[in-house]
Chain A
Amino acid sequence: MSASDTTAPDHVDEERRDFIHIAAISATVGGAGLVAYPLVDQMNAAGDTKAASSLEVDISKVPQGGEIRVLIGGKPFFLRHRTPEEIAAAVNTDASKMPDPQTDEERLVALPDGTFNPAILITSGACTHLGCVPVGPAQGNVGDYGGWYCPCHGSHYDTSGRIRKGPAPKNLPVPDYEWVTPALVKISL
């Protein structure tokens, strides 16, 4: 209401007007938020996408010195059957000086009886730098440390999947997995 109004009322209840302004704006903002939430949330993982997030893998056929690669929910995972030399190289190297210090045993999951099977190493197949899939024994390049080599930006992983050289900040993550039987492993995202 401007001063130029010719028929100004004798009395304006400013408080009442403020209340109406605040109430109207709050309702609009709140309403916009309620509308926006489902529109934003619809982009998150859908029910069926989430449901397809675990896989049971038979590791008995993986040849020694080789690996198999599986996709779970579109994400790659490595299951590597390590040779005794590769296990020795992973165990005997001092982890404390690595960029992301972890001992080899910290990167394994115990069998139901509490023992470890160091021959089978299970890691994520996405380089922790920018998510490329490193190459390994099947591609004929295991990098300077005998594990994997990421061709995108030159990260070298050792036989325990630990980052040793290159731009990647972290070791290849060990996924959540459990041993169903000594030959069958269930990996979850």
Chain B
Amino acid sequence: MSGHESTYKPETGFTKWLDSRLPIVRLAHDSFVDFPTPKNLNYWYTFGGILAVCLVIQIITGVVLAMHYTADINQAFGSVERIMRDVPYGWLIRNIHMVGASMFFLAVYVHMFRGLYYGSYKAPREVLWLLGCVIYLLMMATAFLGYMLPWGQMSLHGANVIINLFGAIPLVGESIQSWLMGGPSVGNQTLQRFFSLHYLLPFMIAGVVILHIWALHVPGNNNPTGVEVQDTKKDTIPFHPYYTVKDGFAIVVFLIIFAVFVFYAPNVLGHADNYIEANPLVTPANIVPEWYLLPFYAILRAITFNIGPMDAKLLGVIAMFGSIAVLFLLPWLDTSKVKSMRYRPVAKQFFMVFVVVCLLLGWCGASNPDNAVIAMGKDKLVVNYTDSAGLEGSRVFEEFAPAAQFRDEQRDSGGVASMAIEKAPAFTFKTLSQILTAYYFAFFLIILPVLGLRERPKGEPDSIHQSILGHDAPAAAPAE
């Protein structure tokens, strides 16, 4: 926490000499050794450390992969296959990088939901939250750029779909689109710039992470009670060894899960289509982004109606970017004075629904919008025919065999007949994603602002210290 006095005492001649010239050891000591940290942090608070590890893993494996990768549309796919087959341990390094992207997002989502639940975005931590949102945006950009590099079918067509989103912007959309692609289509020039930027952005993330930690260390950590530290002696413990060990343990558990994916299921989170080399003439049947972007993809596709002069495509793009933009406004949207949802009985329930909504949006993003979530009745077959006398008509069948027989009979007798599927009325993924999208925005724009004024918080402790005593022994009889 800022304002806490430095306890670093250089011992040797060299450290004294260094401390008066570049007090970097002092900075590290005050930030990660004797940093007063609330003593009630639970395991949800270990994901910051886990994320730092993820970033380091991605940068190290990425730098190594770049030694073998060729950013050229004729060689990119082959160079990735060469990494997998011929480069010593190339398969391992690439699998780590590929799985690492998913693990990075898994951790960041836990980290964000934790911040949301414990109100870590509220004063005095707004800037901390905003910097986190910037990191998240940079992560999404980096992941998107990186997914294009293997030059598989999903790489090319996924990039194409996303860049086409910019075409929805009125007036300047098409210029922006061709500026991003560097030509009329996603081609070699696009791959080269994507590689360049994919290499750059992680270092920008690292830069913003430093600001993020700086902004964390000014007000100090939030904690599960949401009550600020009042008495450093009673409410806090030093970061080392207490939280270095706790974070360390969580990192080990996380890395075990990571390793299970790397060694046993490296491709389970990806798409098989990306092992087909990119072909601009054939679009894969089901273009979907990687799992961590699916909720936003569902929001994009949920908007299928026009409002006034704005068409569905533009509105979908606005909704998708809006769903991220709304995170930046969150510190000012939530009006509640109580930070932690532990003591907000109603907000807690809305929050749980919100988590489920985000997961379901992911499910919708992965599914065909026209497919049924709940079918109401069976699909039917309709045979439209014009008989030899020129009369038009149609007949509906439940089963294929009689429908086909009827069609063939019509054709044999000199008429024209064709068969089509008539979908049964159903509750489709499109409708579901529209409902979920509505909740997503309502949670931030209506529920949190209104609830903060209406809700009666319950049982907030006076201090961190007291909240912990309450767990083990009655506060009236403190143990000596």
Majority secondary structure of chain A interface residues (helix, strand, loop or mixed): loop
- What is the bound-complex CA distance between A129 and B420, given in angstroms? 24
Interface residue ranges of A126-153 to B (CB < 8 Å): 129-135, 144, 150-153
Interface residue ranges of B277-297 to A (CB < 8 Å): 280-283, 285-287
- What is the bound-complex CA distance between A71 and B157, given in angstroms? 15
Q: Are A189 and B161 in contact (CB under 8 A)?
A: no
Q: Are B283 and A132 in contact (CB under 8 A)?
A: yes
Interface size on B, residues (CB 8 A): 34
| Residue in contact with B286 in the complex, picked from A72, A130, A151, CB distance below 8 Å | A151
Say yes or no for A169: interface residue by CB 8 A criterion.
yes
Given A43-B179, A45-B182: A73 in contact with B187 (beta carbons within 8 A):
yes
Say yes or no for A154: interface residue by CB 8 A criterion.
yes
Q: Are B280 and A45 in contact (CB under 8 A)?
A: no
Say yes or no for A84: interface residue by CB 8 A criterion.
no
Say yes or no for B274: interface residue by CB 8 A criterion.
no
- What is the bound-complex CA distance between A118 and B187, given in angstroms? 33
Give B194 Cβ to nearest chain A Cβ, in Å: 11
Given A69-B281, A133-B281, A133-B282: A169 in contact with B311 (beta carbons within 8 A):
yes
Give B370 Cβ to nearest chain A Cβ, in Å: 6
Give A172 Cβ to nearest chain B Cβ, in Å: 14
Q: Are B283 and A167 in contact (CB under 8 A)?
A: no
Give B125 Cβ to nearest chain A Cβ, in Å: 33
- What is the bound-complex CA distance between A160 and B221, given in angstroms? 63
Nearest to A45 among chain B residues (CB) is B183
Give A72 Cβ to nearest chain B Cβ, in Å: 8
- What is the bound-complex CA distance between A169 and B168, given in angstroms? 11
| Residue in contact with A132 in the complex, picked from B160, B186, B311, B368, CB distance below 8 Å | B160
Nearest to A42 among chain B residues (CB) is B182
Contacts of B164 in A (CB 8 A): 130-131
- What is the bound-complex CA distance between A46 and B178, given in angstroms? 11
Chain B 161-178 interface 0/1 with A at a Cβ cutoff of 8 Å (1 = within)? 101110100000000001
Interface residue ranges of B198-254 to A (CB < 8 Å): none
Majority secondary structure of chain B interface residues (helix, strand, loop or mixed): loop
Chain A 146-166 interface 0/1 with B at a Cβ cutoff of 8 Å (1 = within)? 000011111000000000000
| Residue in contact with B287 in the complex, picked from A46, A49, A132, CB distance below 8 Å | A132
Chain B 248-281 interface 0/1 with A at a Cβ cutoff of 8 Å (1 = within)? 0000000000000000000000000000000011
Contacts of A125 in B (CB 8 A): 281
Nearest to B300 among chain A residues (CB) is A130
Interface size on A, residues (CB 8 A): 32
Interface residue ranges of A90-143 to B (CB < 8 Å): 125, 129-135
Q: Are B179 and A74 in contact (CB under 8 A)?
A: no
Contacts of B285 in A (CB 8 A): 151
| Residue in contact with B283 in the complex, picked from A43, A50, A53, A152, CB distance below 8 Å | A152
Q: Are A49 and B311 in contact (CB under 8 A)?
A: no
Nearest to A71 among chain B residues (CB) is B280
Q: Are B165 and A130 in contact (CB under 8 A)?
A: yes
- What is the bound-complex CA distance between A49 and B186, given in angstroms? 12
Contacts of B283 in A (CB 8 A): 132-135, 150-152
A-B contact pairs, 6 of them (CB 8 A): A40-B179, A45-B182, A46-B182, A69-B281, A74-B187, A169-B312
Interface residues of B (CB under 8 A from A): 157, 160-161, 163-165, 167, 178-180, 182-187, 189, 193, 280-283, 285-287, 301, 304, 311-313, 368-370, 420
Interface residues of A (CB under 8 A from B): 40, 43-46, 49-50, 53, 69, 71-76, 125, 129-135, 144, 150-154, 167, 169, 189
- List 8 other contacts, CB 8 Å, given A132-B161, A133-B280: A50-B183, A71-B280, A73-B184, A74-B183, A74-B186, A133-B282, A153-B369, A167-B304
